[in-house]
Amino acid sequence: MHYNTGYHREAVPLVRRFVQMFRDAECICVPSASCVAMMREHYELIAKQKNDAALLADVHALLPRVFEFSELLTERLKAEDVGASFAHSVTYHPSCHSLRMLNIREGPLKLLRAVRGLELRDLPEKEQCCGFGGTFAVKNADVSAAMLEAKEACVINTGAEVATALDNSCLMQIYGGLHRAGSAVRTMHIAEILASTEGGT
Amino acid sequence: MSVRVGKTAAALAFPVAAKEALGNAQLRRNVHHATDVIRNKRALRVEEMPDWQQLRDTASEIKQHTLAHLDYYLEEFARNCERAGGKVHWARDADEANAIAVKIIHDFAGEAAQEVIKVKTMTSDEVQMNVALEAAGITPIETDLADMIVQMGHDEPSHIVVPALHKNRVEIRDIFRVEMNLPELTEQPEELTAAARRYLRERFLRTKIGISGANFLIADTGAVCVVESEGNGRMCVTLPEMLITLVGIEKVIPKSQDLEVFLQLLPRSATGERMNPYNSLWAGVTAGDGPREFHVILLDNGRTRLLEDELERETLQCIRCGACLNACPVYRETGGLAYGSIYSGPIGAILSPQLQSLEHSRSLPYASTLCGACYEVCPVKINIPEVLIHLRGRLVREDQKTMGGKLGMENLAMQAVAMSFMSARRYEAAQRLARMGQKLFEHDGELRNLPGLAGGWTKFRDLKAIPKQSFREWWRSEGRS
């Protein structure tokens, strides 16, 4: 949030702290694509700008162990069926950072298709941004709301009961709009669906 | 030196102008429709290219190389252009470019009132050349269809490639009815085109002076290249007796062969065409063929300053295809006028403030969700989101130097959040505090009417209240730590 809004100086200690906290972790699973994008796209740059060779070395050591949640399942663990059951219709919003920065495309869909009882519905104009954009949502609230309206209409058009994504921030935006509009569509992070054993055997 | 970019100095901040644009339903329908059409056409023409990514890489490399040696290639161009009979002028800023153009016209045709025909040139809008020409008794006639509509409608361009994109056929018919005195005109495209053709032909044939922009300057031959779809450009660069080409210094490429790359990327990115219907290339003057006098005005207007920083320099790779505008979900909702600059959309959001050393267009770097759609379609691979973040950093650093900025709500909030993120204890304390504070705004588990910056959120959206137990608290209560 700090870095993307221009608070670059303030972001440096946060980067240092993250790297330090997870230094000894064998594998770092992050349930947010935009957080992973921040690490992969900017941590190295931040260390270089600070001329901090130690931090740079730490970042280089850390990054190969960082996985977005669905990536960990499909790329690292080669899993598709995680044994979940969820008897609802679901539509998947490929969040911008998962799609364009992490290049995550098929993985989450494979995971969702393997969930028992789940009916996956294709989201029209799915690659369009939901309008969240971090502080954009409040700095340019009117434009953000207009973009959200378009996304909401697409979600509602699918007739799905649940909208899911790899980013809770986008889901917070989509939920906020849907709920304000009186829609009954729920939003759930993909991990919540994959953890569900609802109606399963 | 005084760098000016269009009318940015008087423009409203983006959020304010955007709000106004969002209230114009007709404008939004026009922009949705037009950008969807161009975007889909582009996608078709790009998908059929197996080497698209290699072409992008090559184009980016050519531009990077040229910008790293810009002085060398500009001098080479100037030498070769003059050898072929052209005259090269160097303009540091908008005023200088305009003064040079007026002087050339006066030297050629005297100071009596006269007309010039113009081919689409965004650079001329950047320096507001039409205003300067009119002040000198010279009437500029825009001959690009969209530019003509904008000029006749006393409007501003809203798109780099399709300046009248915000207007539909009926609105254009109404402008033509008044300005061409054709009260019976209908909105049939054939009728509108025929009316424009009749109007323009007359002026092409009677006008002695032409002004153009350029897509490329070719250093090794001194040639100038203009690509277009309507043929008006070809008329403007061949029919007049004297031609002036105004062009930003970043438009130079080293050699003719480089066109092989750019002439594949540009039309597909800009209009979804495999090639442009008209590709005009000329060097200097040729006796008995075309203008007998040819001038090139090379414009800096803030560009050289962008060369100093490697990331900022990327901005100058732009070939003005407008693909990023058509792909941008923000532009799609607001249209181009909200940006307050003739350079709108994602590229405008980085170009306009940088040319003017962040003096104007300061809200534009924030007019993006950083969704990355612009970078994905950019034919020369300008990492626009990265440049936006960089500019936000410059703006924040500048603001923090002032007392108002330091004590501003946003800065204080950002500092406080950064502090709480630095320790688990402080973070949990902040969470507890927020849980108490939210009671004032909570209705059925939803937060409404939040104060301050968060009010921008709850004006349009609900927000689930922070749950009574956090994940960590639950984890601890389960006896796992």
Helices (H), B136-239: 145-152, 169-179, 189-206, 232-238
User: According to the model, what pLDDT value does residue B481 have?
Assistant: 60
Q: Alpha-carbon distance B315 to B380, whole Å? A: 10
Amino acid at site A41? E
Alpha carbon of B416: minimum distance to chain A alpha carbons (Å): 10
In three-state secondary structure terms, B275 is: coil
The residue of chain A with its CA nearest to that of B463 is A176
Which of A42, A138, A171 is the best mutation test for B, with the most CBs of B within 10 A? A138
Q: Which of B376, B392, B461 is closest, CB to CB, to A6? A: B392
Is A136's CB within 8 Å of B454's CB? no
Residues of A in contact with B370 (CB under 8 A): 4, 96, 133-134, 136
In three-state secondary structure terms, B350 is: helix
pLDDT tens for residues A91-143?
Answer: 999 999 999 999 999 999 999 999 999 999 999 999 999 999 999 999 999 99
Instruction: Note whether B294 contacts A: Cβ–Cβ < 8 A.
Output: no
User: According to the model, what pLDDT value does residue A97 have?
Assistant: 97
Q: Are B136 and B106 spatial neighbours (Cβ–Cβ below 8 Å)? A: yes
Alpha carbon of A137: minimum distance to chain B alpha carbons (Å): 7
DSSP states of B95-163? HHHHHHHHHHHHHHH-SS-EEEEE---HHHHHTTHHHHHHHTTEEEEE-SHHHHHHHHTT----SSS-T
Spans of chain B below 50 pLDDT: none
User: According to the model, what pLDDT value does residue B332 have?
Assistant: 96
Q: Which of A9, A13, A100 is closest, CB to CB, to B376? A: A100
User: According to the model, what pLDDT value does residue A5 have?
Assistant: 94
Confidence category of residue A200, pLDDT binned at 50, 70, 90: low
Is A179's CB within 8 Å of B330's CB? no
Which of B14, B35, B371 is the best mutation test for A, with the most CBs of A within 10 A? B371
pLDDT tens for residues B84-100?
Answer: 999 999 999 999 999 99
**B49: number of Cβ within 10 Å:** 14
Residues B88-117, buried b or exposed e (16+ Cβ, 10 A)? Answer: bbebebbbbbbebbbebbeebeeeeebebb
Is A14's CB within 8 Å of B418's CB? yes
Alpha-carbon torsion angle B245, B251, B257, B258, nearest 10: -150
Q: Which of A7, A17, A144 is closest, CB to CB, to B414? A: A7
pLDDT tens for residues A150-198?
Answer: 999 999 999 999 999 999 999 999 999 999 999 999 999 999 999 999 8
Instruction: Indicate the helix (H) or strand (E) that contains B469.
Output: none
Alpha carbon of A174: minimum distance to chain B alpha carbons (Å): 9
The residue of chain B with its CA nearest to that of A38 is B386
Which of A2, A7, A183 is the best mutation test for B, with the most CBs of B within 10 A? A7
Which residues between 41 and 70 in chain A have a beta carbon less than 8 angstroms from any beta carbon of chain B? 41
Q: Are B18 and B367 spatial neighbours (Cβ–Cβ below 8 Å)? A: yes
Q: Alpha-carbon distance B116 to B79, whole Å? A: 27
DSSP state, residue B449: S
E-assigned strand segments in A5-56? 28-30
Q: Alpha-carbon distance A168 to B365, whole Å? A: 25
Is B461's CB within 8 Å of A128's CB? no
Q: Which of A13, A139, A142 is closest, CB to CB, to B366? A: A139
pLDDT tens for residues A9-32?
Answer: 999 999 999 999 999 999 999 999
Q: Alpha-carbon distance A173 to B404, whole Å? A: 30
Amino acid at site B233? G
Q: Are B52 and B261 spatial neighbours (Cβ–Cβ below 8 Å)? A: no
Q: Are A130 and B357 spatial neighbours (Cβ–Cβ below 8 Å)? A: no
> Taking 80 as the threshold, does the pLDDT of residue A199 lie above it?
no
In three-state secondary structure terms, A27 is: coil
Q: Alpha-carbon distance B298 to B74, whole Å? A: 9
Is B461's CB within 8 Å of A145's CB? yes
